[in-house]
A and B are shown apart, each in its own frame.
Chain A
Amino acid sequence: MILLLFIIIPLLGGLFAWLFGRRSDPAARWISLVSLLIEQALVVLLWFRNPAAGIGPGAWFADLHSSWIPQLGISFHLAMDGLSLLMVSLTAFLGIMSVAISWTEIRERVGFFHLNLLFILAGINGVFLSMDLFLFYFFWELMLVPMYFLISIWGHENRTYAAIKFFIFTQLSGLLMLLSILGIYFVHARNTGVYTFDYFRLIGTSMTPAVSFWLMMGFFIAFAVKLPAVPFHTWLPDAHTEAPTAGSVVLAGLLLKTGAYGLIRFLVPLFPAAARSLAPAAMILGVIGILYGAVLAFGQRDLKRLVAYTSVSHMGFVLLGIFAWNDLALQGTVLQMICHGISTGALFMLVGALQERIHTRDMDVMGGMWESIPRMGAVVLFFALASLGLPGLGNFVAEFLVLLGSYKVSVIMTSFAVTGLVFATVYSLWIVQRAFHGEKRREWTISDLSLREMAVMFFMIVSLVWLGLYPRPVIDTARPAITGLMQSATSMEAPAAMANGSGNNGGTASQAVMNSGIRELME
């Protein structure tokens, strides 16, 4: 039952925020903040529980299975393993930060703003917890509508265009995924006579390589648009730039992660063989994303657009890591998802805070601001360093693990990906250089970060340092889940491999041994 709370609390919180927000703005803000704090407390509570096996491969913290539309084989199945737990925790954390950062930025229709924000978070939680493919799709679509409103009502100059583009891109790709979901549903029904959307039952559905490939492509396009992978990324710069700060934080920090989560949770385990055949192409897309995002980031004048393009680059590492599909790479991927959420989220908040003060995002106008707002300068410098992968901060550990993992799969691609780190250094320092140092173009009389903003930044900094210095708790939480997912992917392949007469199962096993060896060395 506790899992239901992760969806109900934000929904109710949003509704109450809206109802009370019609009378007073602070009420809406406080209600949202409190409901998200409760959610965060619940995640922490669950974290201390001992996960149990038995629901599926891997270790699970909680499970909720009840019927919804039994006539069509649709159930309301939520479950939480380490991966889901980390993602839900990130959702609650960034949610709290988003409410806090919007405290003064949003002044119009405050109640409705928080309704939308909390509904997005409810949808995202649903995506991270659903173990029924139809339910997953339901939440996947559900989170789009409030996001659309968030961009199109509270966004910046070009918001209508950005919002509609975002909506159509994600909706179209989502429908392709729905077709794939229906496809696997019918294939499974034809094999077994059971009509079900349940994730654990659909895992291991055997199908011909061609069917498997096309069904996988439906999922891949949906997740690649969300991630985003080049060439499906064109909605991202617009949506991120035009969204209000909280919208950008949620987009970059959470919505992109749903794409990565989908790849890990659904695409590879459901279609292991097809995923392997796609892996080289997907990894190339990942590397292209890393380099292309970085180069474009460097070319921007608009500070927010720059940060948006860095997301494309960082998510390239995620794509690379997922399709390398080994322990190290996946651990790195999960860590990268969290660290990117925090560091990019923080950068968006800072850009938003800057825009609130100087009413522009154009870097040509900025320059020499360090003297007047030293605290903000220092915080920006910190997150710029995090973003370029400074050792000691979370992003470094994450990207390093991904590169280690992908090195075992492809040396060439890893070498290209590494050059992305160099680009990252350039664009990250470029932000600080152009905005805060250099020629002073104006006499800046602006206020530095307020206490509230400093508090938000404090939490973000602390968590990144923690993830950089002592990532073990997070990796330990994610590891059983990753092992479980890898098991379900290989256990499905084993019969197929035997049928083909070539047992490469041993290869996988020895690889696993090797992986754990390397891990021991690292620690």
Chain B
Amino acid sequence: MNLAELYAFSPFIVLSATSIVVMLGIAFYRNHVVTNLVTLLGLAVSFLVLPMVASWIPRQVTPLIIEDRYAFFYSGLILASTFLTAMLSYDYLEKLPGDPEEYYLLLILAAFGSVILVASSHFASFFLGLEILSVSLYALIAYPRGMTRNIEAGIKYLVLAGLSSALLLFGMALVYATTGTMEFARLASQAFDTGGPIFLGGTALIIAGVGFKLAVVPFHMWTPDVYEGAPAPVTGFIATVSKGAMFALLLRYFIGVDVISHRSLFLVFAVISVASMFVGNLLALLQKNVKRILAYSSISHLGYLLVAFLAGGAFRVAAVTYYLVAYFITTLGAFGVITVLSGKEREAEDIEGYQGLAKERPWLAAVFTAMLFSLAGIPLTAGFFAKYYVLLAGVGSALWFLVIIMVINSAIGLYYYLRIIVAMYGHAGEKRHFIEEGMSITGGFVLFVLTSLLVWFGVYPGPLVEFIQKTAALLG
């Protein structure tokens, strides 16, 4: 590794150094505030290092890692989201019994695994990144010890993620057996045209492994239970960082492949996409728990994303990236509101518990409304442009069938988002599960930042679009 490669790799080094500092810090001096601040500082520094070393990219750092604009963009997204999650978690953890410090260590490690994923160009780094992420997540989900449902969710995730890792590993082995390479770039160029049944089987297993992480149908079974069982800030983290990093990797893996012209590949993704949209939206209609609704809604959103993924042409990467940015902001915001509203005993997750929120806590209700409208794709929010961008990509590639399914599904989806909004603006009910007052500065700050971004990207998305287009142009 020469000096230039070291520079290009430095954001990652800062991040891993932070994890060590946090770990040693906890060993010597256990203090929640200090640990939190060190974590935030480390995340902020590695985020700020990204633009500083941008002149040294694109660069292949060892065969495993590629540092390019695309990887940096997604790394920035992941670091920023982790930063906000760490801020949100502070108050949440204060309320819990037990020591909160190791939570941050796990969070940093999860973020580290995610940035490795988005920068990996090789099966080895792919798998390593995935495992770092997954193992941290098992512990994060089950972090509040003594709560049975957290542990249940953690174990559920452990078993299924373990299974998916095994599938993935087997798939990689099969692909390697037929092609003799583990580098994405060399795989894509030849093998998809000439690969035999073993290669296709391997690819199918890889898609299954990735599908578990993305929680697309039919690999979605764990989602509602884990979303419900995990602590609210962790749920937000799983919904955004873990899925987003995986999707970024999926896109890079298939970037050299024209998916539309490979019928079988196209069919697989199209079926997954349609099934995710319908299953996610229809099952969300039946839920009474806000976290479960958001879980099913995220399944359908991944279905929408796959529409953009399947579209070829100039819009593909840009549409996926824009959608992910909007989805990150919105989902973090939605779970942020749930986090802020959650009390010591239980989380604010019952839909009936939201009745009268608009009257008691008008600002929080407004923020939550904005987030839900963004998920539904209503103007003035980032979600509107995101949906529009995906439709643009789909229509541009003449994927009329998928696009119309998506339109029908967003109408179905509207219903359950509106149900939450109806509850908030309705009259106060008997059951009230949110905390009546008091919001920490950190929680308020995070929600303020996310809402501002939501509106900014919903009203004036030009600069972001341009930035993403530049990023996408270099990749595609």
- Residues on A close to B: CB < 8 A? 67-72, 138-139, 141-142, 144-145, 148-149, 152-153, 160, 163-164, 167-168, 171-172, 175-176, 178-179, 182-183, 185-186
Contact = CB atoms under 8 A, between A and B. Distances in A.
B469 interface: yes
Nearest to B392: A182
A67 B404 CA distance: 30
26 contacts: A68-B462, A69-B460, A71-B465, A71-B466, A141-B378, A141-B379, A142-B378, A142-B379, A144-B378, A145-B379, A160-B422, A160-B426, A163-B418, A164-B415, A164-B422, A171-B410, A171-B411, A171-B414, A175-B411, A178-B391, A178-B407, A179-B403, A182-B391, A182-B392, A182-B395, A186-B396
Nearest to B419: A164
Contact of A179 (B384, B407, B466): B407
A168 B407 CA distance: 11
Contacts of B466: 71
Contacts of B373: 145
A69 B379 contact: no
A353 to B, nearest CB: 26
Given A138-B379, A178-B391, A179-B404, A168 B415 contact: yes
Contacts of A163: 418, 422
Contacts of A149: 425
A68 B385 CA distance: 13
B461 interface: yes
Contacts of A179: 391, 395, 403-404, 407
Contact of A152 (B378, B415, B422): B422
Contacts of B422: 152, 160, 163-164
Nearest to B393: A182
Counting from the closest, the 4 A-B pairs by CB-CB distance are A172-B411, A182-B395, A175-B407, A69-B462
Nearest to A72: B465
Contacts of A178: 388, 391, 407
B366 to A, nearest CB: 10
B195 to A, nearest CB: 33
B267 interface: no
Given A142-B380, A175-B407, A179-B407, A186 B425 contact: no
Contacts of B407: 172, 175-176, 178-179
B6 interface: no
A485 B6 CA distance: 64
Contacts of A69: 460-462, 465
B333 to A, nearest CB: 17
B395 A71 contact: no
Contacts of A141: 378-379, 384
Contacts of A144: 378
B334 to A, nearest CB: 17
A172 B404 CA distance: 10
Interface of B: 373, 378-380, 384, 388, 391-392, 395-396, 403-404, 407-408, 410-411, 414-415, 418, 422, 425-426, 460-462, 465-466, 469
Nearest to B378: A145
A202 B425 CA distance: 42
Nearest to A153: B425
Nearest to A68: B462
A71 B384 contact: no
Secondary structure of the A side of the interface?
A: helix
Contacts of B411: 168, 171-172, 175
B395 A183 contact: yes
A1 B379 CA distance: 23
Contacts of B465: 69, 71-72
A141 B379 CA distance: 6
Contact of A164 (B410, B418, B426): B418
A20 to B, nearest CB: 15
A56 B397 CA distance: 32
Contacts of A167: 414, 418
Contacts of B469: 71
Given A141-B379, A142-B380, 10 more contacts: A71-B462, A152-B422, A160-B422, A160-B426, A164-B422, A168-B415, A172-B408, A172-B411, A176-B407, A185-B392
A84 to B, nearest CB: 20
Contacts of B395: 179, 182-183, 185-186
Nearest to B466: A71
A312 B408 CA distance: 26
Contact of A70 (B388, B410, B462): B462
Contacts of B461: 69
Nearest to B403: A179
Contacts of B462: 67-71
B420 to A, nearest CB: 12
A391 B388 CA distance: 48
Contacts of B415: 164, 168
Contacts of A183: 395
A171 to B, nearest CB: 6
B356 to A, nearest CB: 12
A152 B422 CA distance: 7
B458 to A, nearest CB: 10
A446 to B, nearest CB: 28
A141 B469 CA distance: 26
Nearest to A183: B395
Contacts of B426: 160
B297 to A, nearest CB: 16
A164 B392 CA distance: 27
Nearest to B458: A138
Contacts of A185: 392, 395
Nearest to A138: B379
